[in-house]
Amino acid sequence: MKLTPYHAKYIAHELTRRCASDSVERLTAVLSDAQVDLNPHQVEAALFAFRNPLARGAILADEVGLGKTIEAGLLIVQSWAEGRRCILVIVPANLRKQWSQELADKFFLPSAILEARTFNEVIKANAVQTFRTRGVTSFKTV
């Protein structure tokens, strides 16, 4: 069945209306477990990223030191809590270890660091499931 533009717009409207994405209740479960002190702007940024259920992501572009890692961590953990089990974080190469450590320490979400060398070894060992859930990699590897 092909959707008409009217039906597509109607479905998008209903999804937006039914989703409680603009309320803090969506983040309460992950906020209670996180080991971070949150600032209001960080919660607002996470809610902004979740506001449209049809969006495929958001760009977090705060100034240095305002907590982009925490904001992204909230998004990652909330996505995990909602059943999205395939999460890839792409960061500059020198931040891969830091991001993996932050996810584990502050959000109790362990991840594998995906490097070209490591990935090739995993492929040779036929153990691709190692990177099927959570991974941190760099722009160069992608």
Q: Where are the alpha helices (DSSP H) in 19-95?
A: 28-33, 40-50, 68-81
C-beta of residue 28 within 8 angstroms of C-beta of residue 47: no
Strand (E) or helix (H) holding 104: helix 96-107
pLDDT, position 101: 92
Which parts of the chain have pLDDT scores under 70? 1, 12-33, 52-56, 127-134, 140-142
| pLDDT value, residue 91 | 86
**Partner residues linked to 113 by β-bridges:** 136
pLDDT at 30: 60
